[in-house]
Amino acid sequence: MPGPYDLSQDQLAGLLDGEPAYRVRQVWDGLYRRALPVTELTDLPRALRDRLAADPALQPALTAAAYSVADGAQTVKWGWRLGDGAVIETVLMHYPDRSTVCVSTQAGCAMACSFCATGQAGFSRQLTTGEIVEQVVAAIAEARPRRVANVVFMGMGEPMANYGPMWGAVERLHQDLGFSARHITVSTVGLVPGIRRLAKESLPVNLAVSLHAANDGLRNELVPINRRWPLAALIAACHEYRAMKGRRLSFEWALIDGVNDRPSDADELASLVRPLGAHVNLIPLNPTPGYRVRGTPHAAVRAFRDLLVAEGVNATVRRNRGTDIDAACGQLAGSVILQPLSRPRVPN
């Protein structure tokens, strides 16, 4: 359902009809630069604050139904209930030099990747631009006095399958929340039209491709969308993106024991990504209820990385964060909504 972050400045001005123009700027600045609810905009007169707080268009789109922490409070996960009852999740990760928020673009996902909890849950609906932006605003408020420096579109859903609202959120993050385009990453499992469309956009955001297999037979099993856009089409689109944007791509590879962690898999992967000069993020598969195959053991993960490096590929192992609260890659499914609300947080 639409919320305050779905409003344009003109629409906000309409809500403030009769107020001087500088009031619109104050409210806009409060919502975005200061990430505050209208009830806390103390530079507004009390009567105006009360009026805005009662306006349905300015009610938060997200209601916190669950809040979990892990990794010594360095990882935070919210379960949000939307106005129509749909559920999404957002993850905030603190690092020594930065904080990163991972946002959802859909409630559920239709891509049906076998090892991903969101894909196992199925698709519910698209998110609006405001529902995506509001997740970032919540993370900004939570992180203070730390600064959220990076936004990754890697939560629930396939960003390219909700392209318009997703890109609208990117523009709001850049223009109104002050994020550098180079600190925004859009992930995809391989929707080729979306990659080509992204290459034509004016903002040079980062592109991450969830690959997981480097031959069509295995990828068809792990990532069913590969049947529609097989590897040849996907890699061709990645070359086009690299040529048009001049940005290094990254490929995500969830290592599954005995499935895609063999030396032959490393050879195939290196052959695909080396001509692109791409970076490979290796992620030991995180456990999900619907996929019982285990992740590659840590020693074998390092060995796989070493094989890639020996073949001239820039590869690193991503540290798992939030596994014990189902906040790690591939674990977001809305199940947190069933847990007790331990610490209510709302982004309004």
Active site residues: 89, 329
Inter-residue contact 188 to 223 (CB < 8 Å) = no
Is 291:114 a contact under the CB 8 Å cutoff?
yes
- Per DSSP, the residues of 101-158 read EE--SEEE-SS--TT-HHHHH-EEEEPPHHHHHHHHHHHHHHHTTS-EEEEEE-SSS-
- Here the tokens at position 303 are 């060995």
d(CA 213, CA 225): 12
69: which strand partners? Answer: 76
How far apart, in whole angstroms, are the C-alpha atoms of residue 85 and residue 254?
A: 31
- Give the DSSP H or E segment for 135: helix 129-143
* Helices and strands, counts by H and E, the chain: 11, 12
- Residue 193 φ/ψ, nearest 5 degrees: -60, -35
- The distance of Cα 232 from the centroid of its chain, to the nearest Å, equals 26
The residue to which tokens 């408020």 are assigned? 141
Q: What are the tokens at 16?
A: 């403030």
Give the DSSP per-residue string, 222-235.
Answer: H-GGGGTS-HHHHH
